[in-house]
Copies of this chain bind each other. A is one copy, B any other.
Amino acid sequence: MKSLTRHRKMILENMQYRTDHPTAKMVFDSIKMNTYKISFATVYNTLEYLVNCGMIKKLDINSQSARYDANLSEHSHLICKSCGNMMDYIEPIPIDTSIPNLNGFIVEDISVTFRGLCQDCVHN
Q: Which one of A4-12, A28-36, A59-67 is at the B interface? A: A59-67
| Nearest chain B residue, comparing its CB with the CB of A66 | B62
Is A19 on the interface with B (CB-CB < 8 A)?
no
Q: Contact between A91 and B95 (Cβ–Cβ < 8 Å)?
A: no
Is A25 on the interface with B (CB-CB < 8 A)?
no
Residues 74-103 of chain A, each 1 if its beta carbon lies under 8 Å from chain B, else 0? 000010110000010101011110011111
The total of chain A residues at the interface (CB under 8 A) is 40
Give A residues with C-beta under 8 Å from B.
Answer: 58-63, 66-67, 78, 80-81, 87, 89, 91, 93-96, 99-119, 122
Smallest CB separation, A105 vs chain B (Å): 5
Contacts of A101 in B (CB 8 A): 89, 91
Q: Contact between A114 and B122 (Cβ–Cβ < 8 Å)?
A: no
Interface residue from B105, B114, B115, B116 paired with A116 (Cβ < 8 Å)? B105
Question: With the chains together, A114 CA to B114 CA distance in Å?
Answer: 15
Q: Contact between B107 and A119 (Cβ–Cβ < 8 Å)?
A: no
| Nearest chain B residue, comparing its CB with the CB of A91 | B101
